Chains A and B, each alone.
Chain A
Amino acid sequence: MFKRWLRQTTMATMVALAPMAVHAQDTPSQGGEIVVTYKDDITTLDPAIGYDWVNWSMIKSLYSRLMDYAPGTPNPVPSLAESFEVAPDGLTYTFKLRKGVKFSNGREVVASDVKYSIERAVDPKTQGPGAGFFGAIQGFEDLTGGKATTLSGIETPDEGTVIFKLSRPDATFLHVLAINFASVVPKEAVEEAAGDFGKKPVGSGTFILKDWTIGQHLVFEKNPDYYVKDVPHIDKFTVEVGQEPLVALLRLQKGEVDIAGDGIPPAKFLEIKNSADGAQMIVDGEQLHTGYVTLNTKVKPFDNVKVRQALNMAINKERITRILNGRATPANQPLPPLMPGHDKSFPGYAYDVEKAKALLAEAGYPDGFETVLYSTNTDPQPRIAQAIQQDLAAVGVKAEVRALAQANVISAGGTEGEAPMIWSGGMAWIADFPDASNFYGPILGCAGAVPGGWNWSWYCNKDLDARAVAADSMSDPAKAAERTAAWGKIFTDIMADAPWIPVINERRVVAKSLRMGGADNIYIDPTRVINYDAIYVKQ
């Protein structure tokens, strides 16, 4: 017996959620062309490959996926799918596709496109970073291991139906189908692009790429045939790349730019904030981010839990938020406040130098010890690392700060026994999708504690791993609250072992011109950074 669990269409859901998403704002007006700037060039718009915070939001808008999020919220809703049902054992997902949706090359989107697109994202030949997300689909190992060229767990009985067969229950599966790697692409366009689909993208999303002049600009135009009425609101956005943030800000103040994607340089932040129009230009939004210091449990003396707990009490997190001009709040657990499962009542380890010293003495280090703290070398990260260094010195721990290029820090973190402590700034975890499990596996679970992994504490707790698997098996939507609570408990229980010092939850800052409308959470949307579908120009 299948338990039917039909959802409303995206349209209905979005209408229902709209008052929440754009509270206290005037209704979006249609039309208008805007200019967006970034310092870095856009690497790729191929949804199977793109994985940085700049191209993430553009890929979101170029393509459609079976599932998407209601704007500004962490709630997955059907998008390209019209409806779906989940089998009671959580192993079969059946999706009915919306009819009449067309790719920008004119062809209708059919079920086999969904199958092809996900297989393409998993296929090692694509060299995509997102393959692992689809690990629950049957036949995954055969495709990644080169034994098959398709995923046996995706079936397309007719043009309008896609059935996923999973090898294990995965409560995050709806989120997985909403991430960029699950974007639907037409096979013929991928083949025609001959290896460069990232520069010649074809999708069925809200926008169509009209022009890409390498190193200069990209022009996105509204898809007039998009399947949700009055979405998107703007007619066109031009992304100008290679723009120094300071220059972008000057141009924004002159009205030449509408969104400065890199935000406001730290040196200018207070000046803008205190200027007449400044407050309306700054969008300062919460994101699913936690900045932390990893304590390598395989390196002495961090193998001693008392040492790890002591250092958790030694860091003055308030001071670090001041280095960031107050664009952060102190953290006491791995999950950020925006993430379902975050425990507001959890006390964590309070800042207490005397208690930290006492605990260090108890652990056998009354005079402290010497260690090394790694950090990336772009401002303000070395300054934060120095603040941590000073805090550690106050409890007798002499830490040498090693500020390196990001790639080298990542390499040190993934090498066993190499980096005793790493300040995660510039590489900190920002969730791929708004589900607590995304904060566990790669960075705190046993699976990530391998050479080349991202669990830089090398922390592996089999008991917590088992609880994580149990929580992710609760794919019955009726148990969602129970599952969220189970995850929340995993993260607060982890703090007893203290593999991290959770330091801050940093907010993202985007600068927008005065004519741009919409709530802050569509400029810093937890699931897509800038939500090009929802922003609008005030008329």
Chain B
Amino acid sequence: MAFLILRRIVQMALILLGVAAITFLLLYALPADPARMIAGRSATAQTVANIRRELGLDQPFLVQFWTYLANLLQGNLGRSYAQKTEVATLIVARLPATLTLMLAGIVVEVVLGMILGTIAAVRRGGAVDRLVMMASFVGVSAPQFVVALLLLYVFAATLGWFPMSGYGSFAHIVLPATTLGVLGAGWYARMVRSAMIDVLNQDYVRTARAKGLSSRRIIFRHALPNAVLPVIAMIGIDIGQFMGGVVVVEAVYGWPGIGQLAWQAIQQVDIPIIMGVTLTSALAIVLGNLIADVIAPVIDPRIRTR
């Protein structure tokens, strides 16, 4: 187990290095010039040249990348071009909001998905099953932006049950987390349903039924734990999806997370922020997968033998 984790950590470091190199290269290759974005319209050519030199943007690619990497290894993400603030400060200020929203979103989608998936599997072929599958299809296909605005309009602007935007209390998180969760729940419902149907057809379930166990006990004690394994792997992958999805949801609900930060940085060609947010997201994704891999054998002992 320890060896597995160690190997994964080395892999993680390599993945992050790769992400850093690719992102840096792409940003370098952009025709947009960060020095000119900072300098604005009225700046003279000399001002632009001075800014470029001060930022080290006149150096060759490898020198720039090496400088960035050397700073990164010392835990220094650099300063924002436009704001002059330490990138780490900006990310640390905003990361809790994004993580809270992601966690809440995952809870909503997993709980909702498992409930709906289980119901659908048990009532396979019936009207309830078809309704759930249709709803999950709609949920998966609906654009986040539209769902977010719809929820906002109905539950905040019209009914006034929740605040329209902001951050800080439980009431603030309900709508954004529901937006993220409803859309993801469709995937989980479908996955849990098919896994449950598989499990329910297995011999040991038939044995349990033959023993005369109640169907509730069969479903919750015997079937569901076996059907839950793909869900855990899915959450690990899902973090990547969420990192993309939060950008939209954060924008609509004015949620002060790193999605907003990234969006604005891209407009301004603020390379240190773009790099910082990309690396943070990549770290979250590989960490999520690592955790999923570590948890899986705990829940399902069969995996340990591999």
Contacts and interface: CB of A to CB of B under 8 A. Distances in A.
A41 B82 CA distance: 12
B36 A411 contact: yes
A518 to B, nearest CB: 26
Nearest to A246: B149
A43 B83 contact: yes
A408 B31 contact: yes
B284 to A, nearest CB: 18
B261 interface: yes
B165 A199 contact: no
B256 A199 contact: no
A124 B53 contact: yes
Given A242-B260, A407-B37, A442-B42, A196 B84 contact: yes
Contacts of A196: 84-86
A242 B250 contact: yes
Contacts of A380: none
B220 interface: no
B167 A44 contact: no
Given A215-B261, A247-B165, A408 B42 contact: no
B254 A247 contact: yes
B264 A41 contact: yes
Contacts of A130: 42-43
A354 interface: no
Interface in A174-218: 195-199, 213-216
A144 B267 CA distance: 28
A255 to B, nearest CB: 12
- Most A CB atoms within 10 A — which of B38, B164, B253? B164
Contact of A243 (B33, B48, B85, B165): B165
A135 B53 contact: no
- Most B CB atoms within 10 A — which of A43, A198, A429, A450? A43
A111 B214 CA distance: 88
A129 B46 CA distance: 11
Given A43-B82, A144-B47, A196-B85, A215 B53 contact: no
Contacts of A124: 47, 50-51, 53-54
A367 interface: no
B264 A40 contact: yes
B interface secondary structure, majority: helix
A197 B79 CA distance: 13
Given A129-B42, A198-B85, A242-B251, A411 B164 contact: no
A108 interface: no
Contacts of B267: 405-407
B201 interface: no
- Most B CB atoms within 10 A — which of A128, A213, A407, A447? A407
A452 to B, nearest CB: 6
Interface stretch (B89-97, B116-124, B203-211): B89-97
Interface in B8-50: 30-33, 36-48, 50
B32 A411 contact: yes
B158 to A, nearest CB: 10
Contacts of B264: 40-41, 43
A244 B40 contact: no
Interface string A230-244: 000000000011111
B186 interface: no
B43 A144 contact: no
A376 B264 CA distance: 16
A410 interface: yes
Interface string A409-429: 011101000000000000101
A195 B33 contact: no
Contacts of B36: 407, 410-411, 414, 452
A296 B181 CA distance: 51
Interface residues of B, number: 55
Contact of A41 (B47, B253, B260): B260
Nearest to B43: A129
- Most A CB atoms within 10 A — which of B82, B84, B93, B260? B84
Interface in A408-466: 408, 410-412, 414, 427, 429, 432, 438, 442-443, 447, 450-454
Contacts of A243: 165, 254
Nearest to A430: B41
Given A196-B84, A247-B252, A411 B33 contact: yes
Contacts of B41: 427, 429, 442-443, 454
Interface string B38-79: 111111111110110111000000000000000000000001
Contacts of A482: none
A128 B40 CA distance: 9
B38 A198 contact: no
Interface string A92-123: 00000000000000000000000000000000
Contacts of B50: 124, 127, 131, 144
Interface in A35-50: 39-41, 43-44, 46, 49
B164 A247 contact: yes
Given A129-B38, A129-B42, A244 B252 contact: yes
A493 interface: no
Nearest to B37: A407
Contacts of A410: 32-33, 36-37
B157 interface: yes
Contacts of A246: 149
Nearest to A198: B84
A48 B82 CA distance: 12
Nearest to A129: B40
A144 to B, nearest CB: 6
B108 interface: no
Given A144-B50, A244-B254, 8 more contacts: A129-B43, A133-B42, A196-B85, A242-B255, A247-B254, A408-B30, A408-B32, A429-B41
21 contacts: A124-B47, A124-B50, A127-B50, A129-B40, A129-B51, A131-B43, A131-B50, A132-B42, A132-B43, A195-B84, A214-B256, A240-B165, A242-B165, A244-B251, A247-B165, A254-B164, A407-B30, A407-B37, A410-B36, A452-B33, A454-B41
6 closest Cβ pairs, A-B complex: A407-B32, A215-B256, A124-B50, A214-B93, A132-B44, A129-B40
